[in-house]
Amino acid sequence: MKKKSIEKLVYDYPTRYEEGFIREEIDELLKQFPKIHKNKFYDALRGITCVMRDGKLVIYHCDILRALHCGLENRNLTLLEWD
């Protein structure tokens, strides 16, 4: 999948909260990428900023997008990608 289409998928994904993704939505999203390196995906989410809504962690779209790129490219975040 091309970078632009991954970005569109993430930002157009029908999330419950406008800020981003809850755990269940992340699990569903990852089903679309069966070959993703999940350790790299989850490593990229360490230390991110998130928000709580109704007792659930909501992870921002931009963080999910970066984590997807890391998981698909089997790499860690670069220094420039840290927020």
Could you give the CA distance from residue 43 to residue 32 in angstroms, rounded to a whole number? 19
Could you give the CA distance from residue 24 to residue 43 in angstroms, rounded to a whole number? 18
Asked if the structure places residue 8 within a domain, the reply is: yes
Number of domains in the chain: 1
The kind and range of the H/E element at 52 are strand 50-53
Round the CA-based radius of gyration of the chain to a whole number and report it. Answer: 12
Asked if the structure places residue 52 within a domain, the reply is: yes
pTM greater than 0.85 (yes/no): yes
Domain that holds residue 62: 3-75
pLDDT (average), residues 57-73:
97
Helix (H, G, I), strand (E, B) or coil at 18: coil
Is residue 19 over pLDDT 70? Answer: yes
The kind and range of the H/E element at 64 are helix 61-73
pLDDT of res. 1:
65
pLDDT (average), residues 61-79:
95
Look at 78 and 3; give whichever has higher pLDDT.
78
pLDDT (average), residues 62-71:
96
